[in-house]
Amino acid sequence: MSRTVKRAFKYRFYPTDAQAAELARTFGCVRKVYNLALAARTEAWTLRQERVNYNATSAMLTAWKQTEELAFLNDVSSVPLQQALRHLQVAFTNFFAKRARYPSFKSKKKSRKSAEYTTSAFRYRDGRIVLAKMADPLNIVWSRPLPDGAALSTVTVSQDSAGRWFVSLLCDDVIEQAPASGAVGIDAGLDSLLTLSTGEKITNPKHERRDRTALARAQRNLAKKEEGSANRAKARLKVARVYARITDRRRDHLHKLTTRLVRDNQTIVIEDLTVRNMVRNHTLARAISDAAWRQFRTMLEYKATWYGREVIAVDRWYPSSKLCSACGALAQKLPLNVRKWTCRCGTVHDRDVNAARNILAEGLSVIACGGGVRPQRESSRTGQSSVKQENPRATKGIPVL
């Protein structure tokens, strides 16, 4: 059995000076149009309680191009500008559906630099991509092949804070949904990133800690540079490269981990954790952020949808650690520094393994009984989710792991 899904393939590329200049202009125009449209929609609602939709902002864009002040918008491809208006419409849709906050203005220094091209604004032939307003193809490093006969629907060009250029190609991909019969419970932690109900413990790589010395050195060097100077720009780039190295390693590790879990198990049970509240503990905030539990869950969810698997999130208040997985007795107190404990039935428990087994048992009982199960709050990206939750409180807008 197979399933066709929309999948993005991201590659690094190295633009020529002319291409870099053209893309930089495009990024600036995309940001300008987005901010103008957001200001117009906000003003219309504040002053006249009028909702402005995409079609109205598209007409505004045409008028803006005809003014002397904004005539420079004609120098770049119109497609990324129209896509910026569509992205703003999606942002407002998510806001009114209570899936996101009110859209904010894009900053020249802090916002992500990107531009999206649809089929009318690029040409893809024989592994060569030429964007609108450019004569030469992009010099892409094809680190992995595209699906056979891939028909690209969008091409998104971006530049990260470390100065690296990327191109993301969206196309249809056929994923083979091989049958799997296993079920696994997962307990997230800091010493062990994940503990499985099978007894396996996956070590936490602690990517940020590995580069903490280099990061501190780069940040001290940045702090000594004068505001607005060229040396400060160079120092800022060095800090960004350290962060990029940490992020890349973390993402690569989570991709490999989630892919293995999804391919080997039909049912995956996780604990519903409120990461936003947990990072308020300043003692553990840095380690929790480095563990990236939220990113792990996000990857697990969309890959489960691809492969036809089921992800279940159990109530965050479920006493998975204090409950004996052998006899069901509940321990009265179990401080965090206690990693092993003995139940009154005589069973010696590893705290994390016991929690993972209890999480699995609770998830399987949800499947068998179905009591109190309701779908997870819709994703702002897909509008749907494959995750089931036992706890109704988890659907009240609190970001969860």
Write the pLDDT tens digit of every residue in 58-101: 999 999 999 999 999 999 999 999 999 999 999 999 999 999 99
352 is known as an active-site residue: yes
Q: Which of 187, 272, 362, 390 is catalytic?
A: 187
How much is the pTM?
A: 0.84
CATH topology of domain 182-205+241-395: Nucleotidyltransferase; domain 5 (3.30.420)
The active-site residue, picked from 272, 315, 352, 390, is 352
User: What pLDDT score was predicted for residue 372?
Assistant: 41
Give 374's pLDDT tier (boundaries 50, 70, 90): very low
pLDDT at 15 over 80: yes
pLDDT for 398 beyond 70: no
For residue 399, the Cα-to-chain-centroid distance in whole angstroms is 13
Residue appearing with tokens 């994390």: 352
Is pLDDT larger for residue 384 or for residue 207?
207
> In whole angstroms, what is the distance from residue 50 CA to residue 41 CA?
8
Contacts 24+ apart (CB under 8 A), 46-55: 53/89, 54/85, 54/86, 54/88, 54/89
Catalytic residue among 271, 272, 290, 390: 271
In the Cβ-directed half-sphere of 288, how many Cα atoms lie within 13 Å? Answer: 15
pLDDT at 373 over 50: no
Among this protein's residues, is 271 annotated catalytic? Answer: yes
| DSSP 8-state code for residue 394 | G
pLDDT, tens digit (0-9, with 9 covering 90-100), for 175-194 = 888 888 889 999 999 989 99
Q: Is the dihedral of CA 198, 199, 200, 206 positive or negative?
A: positive
Outline which parts of the chain fall under CATH 3.30.420. 182-205+241-395
**Helical spans, DSSP H, in 66-170:** 78-96
Q: Does residue 399 register a pLDDT over 70?
A: no
Catalytic site includes residue 290: no
Q: What is the pLDDT of residue 393?
A: 35
Supply the mean pLDDT for the chain: 89
Please name every residue paired with 98 in a beta bridge, in sequence order, or none if there are none: none
- What integer pLDDT is reported at residue 32 of this predicted model? 97
